[in-house]
Structure 1
Amino acid sequence: MKRTIRTTALTVGALTAALGLQAGPARADATAPRIDLRVLVVSDGGPATDAIAAELDAAGTPYTEVDLTSSTRPTIDAAFLADTVGGRPRAKFQAVVLPNDNPFAAGSAETTALAAYEQSYAIPQVDAYTYARPQAGLQVPTSGGYSGSIDGVQAQVTAAGRAGPFGYLDGAVPFEDNSPSVGESYAYLSTPAPGADFTPYVQAPIPGSTRQGSLVGEYRHDGRRELVVTFVYNRYQQQFRLLARGIVEWMTGGVRLGASRNYFAVHVDDVFAADDRWDSQLNCTPGDVDCTNGAGVPSPIRMTPADVDHATAWQDSHHFTFDLVYNGAGSVDQREDNGGVDQLADRLIADRDRFRWVNHTYTHAFLGCAQNTTVVPWTCETNADGSTEWVSRNTIDDEIATNRAWGQLNGLPLDNSELVTGEHSGLRILPQQPEDNPNLAPALNDNGVGWLASDNSRDPAQRQVGPAATVARYPMNVFYNAGRASEEVDEYNWLYTSRAQGGSGVCEDSPATTTCLPAPLDTGTGYHDYIVPLETRIALGHVLSGDPKPHFIHQSNLAEDRIAYPVLDGVLDGYDALFADNTPLVNLRMKDIGTELRRRAAWAAALHAGRVSAYRIGDTVTVQAPRGTDVTATLPTGTTLGGTAFGTAYAGETSGWTPSAGDTLTFALPPSAAASRSAAAPAAGADTTRAATAPAPPTEVPAGVTEQVPFAPDN
């Protein structure tokens, strides 16, 4: 027997009948509804719905977006939301995301249709950013709450939040405060309205009181469930990145296409070689192409055995593994110059199984065009007919194969399919070399290379170069030519200050440069006080966005002052302080990162082409995708596929990739997944009429939300 609940002036039964919807979620198995695994995102063009859509995109979770600002948008009515397939009622969306608790005009038929749809099929609704008010289950902020900035505030996940959708977090949710002059966060902090069935999941102290105000909470009313978010955010801000997984978990009930994990890998380039040192007088690097006509005297930076010991101890303490990207000629030269002795190589080779190893070519030669280094910036040499003079296929072959042979001779555990060329050379580099060296792809084929590193700042998208797919790497702004903190700061000042301040003027010439300084940093304190926090924030931003691309530094950064470690400590220790043990950082080697990127691209293409369908009926999830496309899903622990356990555990759920042969994939959910989808009775005293009819009032959006302050993680 179905329970009747009043909403506006109609019973649910009468309302759903009027709209042509199937009433009541509880029905016999034979008539259980089909719930399509797709999210409806209703956007007003604001940053909050954009952020949630970006999270769904990144995870590979399909959604349909309706832009309320478009005159050609579809009407959200019964036919848009539900229909019948093969005689079975179908809900076209498993969740609804609205910009606030009611973005429509008073008395809107679309509001009525959504309410009936959510009641009939037990579809959850996310209010992406809304004013705290009784219609959202909260008291207005003027009743003992707070409206205003929460820059720098540390919120907390409640016990209910940790037992529910935010159980992957340790508890703390710090809000960014990157600029003292720009507002970055705004919130309406309030407590549940009298009689409201409201459970706070994330809350923060209400200023001037000892009470906590809700930032994220669940409101159950009128046979509906809403996740009420009362702070504004954009897709880059740390507070959203921390909560994004839980928002999606809540709206999908842990059953969805797509998956999200947090990754971090660090490549250490030029191992066994030495890196030239920055000259603070010449403002260039003697021995490298930025010092013309042999200016200055090279001063190499090279790791020592003690640096190797520090690296292995650091790895052990952080449960992390470096990828050492090596040049064998560096050791050969060292032995030739030192009577056959190379203590660094001896120590690294003895500890070779403590690291992952990647071929970086034998001498670190530039493998693109032949370079004219008599000018700054360098240019490509040309042949007599004006064509570009390219480094030959034989030269590239020799660099790859000789380094591989040297590594094998010394017992390095290599994967021969991986390659990082010196300076990512051979690949296009603007403005000097706008195309790949045409000899690169054949040489990669000669040597069985399947994964080739590229520089994310120049070549971010994965692409094919002959037999190899690129794996873009994030360059950390910890310079290759700095072994000491003071050198790093001096070069940083040169690059990012004005000519009047003694700098290069690059910020004057290229105003879009995001790391410009208002004044030079103190060389004694600037590294730890400014550069380390900034680089930590940027790298952690990549991690929290679920981006698997590796970061790269250089062996010089593990030598002398070991300047890389404060940044790496900031990322790893910062992550550990935020996440529960069930959500570890995933530390992959290069080929596995490349595989992840390739799978994601193929999956995104299949979704975009409309070639994926997925739905749930009771405890069965059915997915169909194109042959050869791996399917990604997040499902409850205990889910099976063809009688075999699906996926691996992460963040309290199970997720993974499954190959598709083009046939139907049928996942069996465990009995524990049969969580109640029943409608909630209205709480005593709740005003259901206003909840269905009153549009949400306008909310504040500070400048720091519409423009990233000071840097977006992809800058």
Structure 2
Amino acid sequence: MHVPAFRAGRVTGALLAALLVAGAVPAAGAAAAEPAPRIDLTVLVVDDGGGAVGAITSELKGSGTPYRTVRLDDPGRPVIDAAFLSEARDEATGRPRAKYQGVVLPDEAPAALTEAERSALASYERTYAIPQIDAYTWAHPGVGLDYTSDGGRSGVLDGVGTAVTAAGRAGPFRYLDGPVVFEDNDPDISESYGYAGRPRAGYTSYLDMPVDGGGRASLIGEYAHDGRRELVVTFAYNQYQRQFRALARGMVEWLTQGVHLGQSRNWFSVHVDDVFAPDARWDTARNCTPGDFDCVGGDGEGTAPIRMTAADAQYAAQWQRASGFTLDMVYNAGSGEEWKSENGGSDPLTAQLVADRAQYRWINHTYTHPFLGCVQDTSTVPWSCAKDASGNIRWMSRAEIAAQIRDNHTWAVNKGIAVDRTELVTGEHSGLRTLPQQPADNPNLAGALADTGVKWLASDNSREPQQRAVGAAKTVPRHPMNVYYNVGTAEEMTDEYNWIYTSAEDGGSGVCATNPASTCLDEPLDVRTGYAEYIVPQEARIALGHVVANDPRPHYVHQSNLAEDRLLYPVLDKVLADYRALFADNTPLVNPRQRDTGTELTRRAAWDQALAAGRVTAYRIGSTVTVKAPAGVSAPVTAPEGTRKQQLLGSTAFGTPYAGARSAWTAPELLQSAITLTLPTA
């Protein structure tokens, strides 16, 4: 049996028992070693409906790790006994079988389980060396900790800086580098509570904090006792809090001993829409954007649009080099050509961006950014779909849509810009259904995409968070960043933010009070300081929350955010700085392009369907892992460094390194019916 890297050099009684069960170490005086058991790569989750178990479940689900849930409040739930947990002999392998590789409990001894069930779990964990997570409990000797009154601490943890210990860094949290600071998003609300206790014999702390009187007390650690191992967590959390998201990977790695189905990355891509085109400007007097259908009192004539300059383009290239991060330029070539013709035939911005073309990634945004859905009737607010004399909706034609895509692509090729014709972002995500006015896709859209070779079509994650098919193409949902397209300065941004997020009584639109997904500011922000002091930290926190949640969906902003006050950079700088301060070098940000995100989402959907249909079989016997999935479905697998993938002749190194492990989407090799991995032996 493989000794995980974070256990090497520390063979406890529990681990020795595991080695004996696996047959790796023959028992003294034994006539013959017991055959190594089959251990299924599935996690048992005993759910009390609380936030802590829900958070761990979300991590398992998001990474593609199979689990079975037993709800304690379900009167028809199965009894957790020996037969539920294991089999004396597996028909397929002829070996003892453990049905779960790890157990998640609400706490160390849930009251909703009977004494017999708790005894069955303890026996199962001892027999097969199965780890257990106590999702949330308090500090007491029963979990290997002193009471908090004995030099520990209990109470609100908002804003507290905790540290991963040397044992944690050498073990399951080896991907973390800096302090894990508990969120404190609202000083008027207590967001986290916990119990920090001093370790007793058998307890190894992985995350601790300073306490009064000197020394440190633990919030997460491993308690080895009675031939069992428990990961003890003594603070409350939910799936959205950054401290949990930072620690979640390590909790799963510990639970699965570093070997499991599923994988995760920390993803971050930023699309800059409307490159070459100008964006309209927010009117701080009328609280609307001239030219918009609902902005009464002007059509935008005379209002200075927002457009990058050559100096802004030079800064963008310099910023990329300094930050080590690549932006995706989502471009409208026709809009740039129109600007050029209206300004004496010269456009320094286009010249600069084209000169620096190799420094960016480029995505087709159509030639002139038209609305590709129904013909819009703007005589009403909001607009509606225009109809013909027979009452049929009038749609942009297939030929017009294809021309917009093709002309933009051709322009880029002629300029020497590398652009992938399979990727497309339509203006305002148009062509796709837009509720409530356009409840269906433009029926001509799918054909135009096929005509032009588009396979990956951007969509708005706030409207359609799930990938879906549009003919032969698939959508790639994008997160809108709350840095508005129609502002060039910090004061304009804060003014519009105030209008949206201030109640009518305080002079705002009042939308925040009527929208259940929004909340109102206590008072309007100071337009001179509100952007830097309030909006930037909030938007960076939201974006980083997506990054650490294994979410590959790109974020999108607009070229106006790189112009004038260059509002985007403070947000990105904070995201990158906060990320790099927390994570080790072995866990770099992954910066995928649109097609790679689309492929990732497609693989996940196929994997989830296979799991839901019960068509995946995966287990471990000693140092050998076997995975069987439906033909054509790749499996996500995570394993320790040194793992080898078996081929028809010989083997190769498995996967790619990330976060101190190796992982990959993988499939059987030629002439093989299953994936076979060989784990390293210590």
TM-score bucket of the superposed structures, by smaller chain = over 0.9
Q: Which letter does structure 1 place at the counterpart of 2:270?
A: V
Equivalents in 1 of 2:138, 2:298: separation in Å?
65
1:113 partner SS: helix
Equivalents in 2 of 1:25, 1:319: separation in Å?
46
Q: Which letter does structure 1 place at the counterpart of 2:677?
A: A
2:438 partner SS: coil
Deviation of 1:238 after TM superposition, in Å, equals: 0.5
User: For residue 664 of structure 1, what is the aligned residue in structure 2?
Assistant: 673
Task: Single out whichever of 97-106 and 347-356 deviates more from structure 2.
Answer: 97-106
Deviation of 1:25 after TM superposition, in Å, equals: 4.7
Select which of 537, 560, 583 maps to 1:579: 583
Deviation of 1:30 after TM superposition, in Å, equals: 7.3
Q: For structure 2, which runs of at least 5 residues remain unmatched after alignment? A: 1-12, 27-31
Select which of 549, 568, 592 maps to 1:564: 568
Equivalents in 1 of 2:293, 2:260: separation in Å?
51
1:671 partner SS: coil
**Per the alignment, do residues 23 and 311 of structure 1 end up closer, same or farther by CA in structure 2, a change over 3 Å counting?**
closer
1:370-417 CA distance string (max 9 Å, x none): 112233322221222222211111211111111111111111100000
Select which of 470, 474, 477 maps to 2:475: 470
Is the CA contact (8 Å cut-off) linking 1:356 and 1:414 kept in structure 2? yes
Is the CA contact (8 Å cut-off) linking 2:21 and 2:34 kept in structure 1? no
Q: Which letter does structure 1 place at the counterpart of 2:71?
A: D
Task: Single out whichever of 368-377 and 218-227 deviates more from structure 2.
Answer: 368-377
**Per the alignment, do residues 550 and 94 of structure 1 end up closer, same or farther by CA in structure 2, a change over 3 Å counting?**
same
Q: Which letter does structure 1 place at the counterpart of 2:492?
A: E
Aligned 1:315-714 pairs, distance under 5 A: 315-510=320-515, 512-641=516-645, 642=647, 643-660=651-668, 664-672=673-681
Is the CA contact (8 Å cut-off) linking 2:209 and 2:218 kept in structure 1? yes
1:168-203 CA distance string (max 9 Å, x none): 00031100111122211111111123xx21110000
1:214-266 CA distance string (max 9 Å, x none): 00001111111111110010000001001000000111111100001100000
Deviation of 1:24 after TM superposition, in Å, equals: 4.2
Is the CA contact (8 Å cut-off) linking 2:625 and 2:679 kept in structure 1? no
Is the CA contact (8 Å cut-off) linking 1:176 and 1:184 kept in structure 2? yes
Select which of 199, 218, 221 maps to 1:217: 221
Deviation of 1:141 after TM superposition, in Å, equals: 1.5
Equivalents in 2 of 1:22, 1:623: separation in Å?
22
Is the CA contact (8 Å cut-off) linking 1:292 and 1:374 kept in structure 2? no
Equivalents in 2 of 1:497, 1:250: separation in Å?
45
Deviation of 1:22 after TM superposition, in Å, equals: 13
Q: Which letter does structure 2 place at the counterpart of 1:81?
A: L
2:96 partner SS: strand
1:335-359 CA distance string (max 9 Å, x none): 2123321111111011100000000
1:375 partner SS: coil
Equivalents in 1 of 2:271, 2:33: separation in Å?
53
User: For residue 688 of structure 1, what is the aligned residue in structure 2?
Assistant: none
**Per the alignment, do residues 287 and 29 of structure 1 end up closer, same or farther by CA in structure 2, a change over 3 Å counting?**
farther
Is the CA contact (8 Å cut-off) linking 2:21 and 2:35 kept in structure 1? no
Select which of 85, 101, 112 maps to 2:108: 101
Is the CA contact (8 Å cut-off) linking 2:45 and 2:105 kept in structure 1? yes
Is the CA contact (8 Å cut-off) linking 2:22 and 2:35 kept in structure 1? no
1:116-137 CA distance string (max 9 Å, x none): 1111111111111111111101
1:226 partner SS: strand
Task: Single out whichever of 22-31 and 558-567 deviates more from structure 2.
Answer: 22-31
**Per the alignment, do residues 107 and 98 of structure 1 end up closer, same or farther by CA in structure 2, a change over 3 Å counting?**
closer
State the TM-score, normalized to the length of structure 2: 0.93
Is the CA contact (8 Å cut-off) linking 1:625 and 1:660 kept in structure 2? no
User: For residue 313 of structure 2, what is the aligned residue in structure 1?
Assistant: 308
Equivalents in 2 of 1:242, 1:163: separation in Å?
16
User: For residue 186 of structure 1, what is the aligned residue in structure 2?
Assistant: 193
Is the CA contact (8 Å cut-off) linking 1:631 and 1:660 kept in structure 2? no
Is the CA contact (8 Å cut-off) linking 1:292 and 1:373 kept in structure 2? no
1:634-662 CA distance string (max 9 Å, x none): 01112222212221000010001113589
**Per the alignment, do residues 496 and 247 of structure 1 end up closer, same or farther by CA in structure 2, a change over 3 Å counting?**
same
**Per the alignment, do residues 214 and 417 of structure 1 end up closer, same or farther by CA in structure 2, a change over 3 Å counting?**
same
Q: Which letter does structure 2 place at the counterpart of 1:602?
A: A
Task: Single out whichever of 142-151 and 155-164 deviates more from structure 2.
Answer: 142-151
Q: Which letter does structure 1 place at the counterpart of 2:431?
A: G
Of the two structures, which has the highest relative contact order with CA contacts closer than 8 Å and spacing of 6 or more?
1
Task: Single out whichever of 580-589 and 22-31 deviates more from structure 2.
Answer: 22-31
State the TM-score, normalized to the length of structure 1: 0.89
1:545-590 CA distance string (max 9 Å, x none): 0100000000000000000111111111110000000000000100
Equivalents in 2 of 1:290, 1:342: separation in Å?
32
Instruction: Please give the root-mean-square deviation of Cα atoms over the aligned residues, in Å.
Output: 1.9
User: For residue 165 of structure 1, what is the aligned residue in structure 2?
Assistant: 172
1:88 partner SS: coil
2:267 partner SS: coil
**Per the alignment, do residues 29 and 371 of structure 1 end up closer, same or farther by CA in structure 2, a change over 3 Å counting?**
farther
1:74-127 CA distance string (max 9 Å, x none): 111100111021320011011111111111479701111111111111111111
User: For residue 123 of structure 1, what is the aligned residue in structure 2?
Assistant: 130
2:573 partner SS: helix
User: For residue 285 of structure 2, what is the aligned residue in structure 1?
Assistant: 281
Equivalents in 1 of 2:573, 2:114: separation in Å?
55
Equivalents in 2 of 1:70, 1:494: separation in Å?
47
Is the CA contact (8 Å cut-off) linking 2:21 and 2:128 kept in structure 1? yes
How many correspondences in the alignment? 651
Task: Single out whichever of 405-414 and 51-60 deviates more from structure 2.
Answer: 405-414
Q: Which letter does structure 1 place at the counterpart of 2:129?
A: A
**Per the alignment, do residues 370 and 120 of structure 1 end up closer, same or farther by CA in structure 2, a change over 3 Å counting?**
same
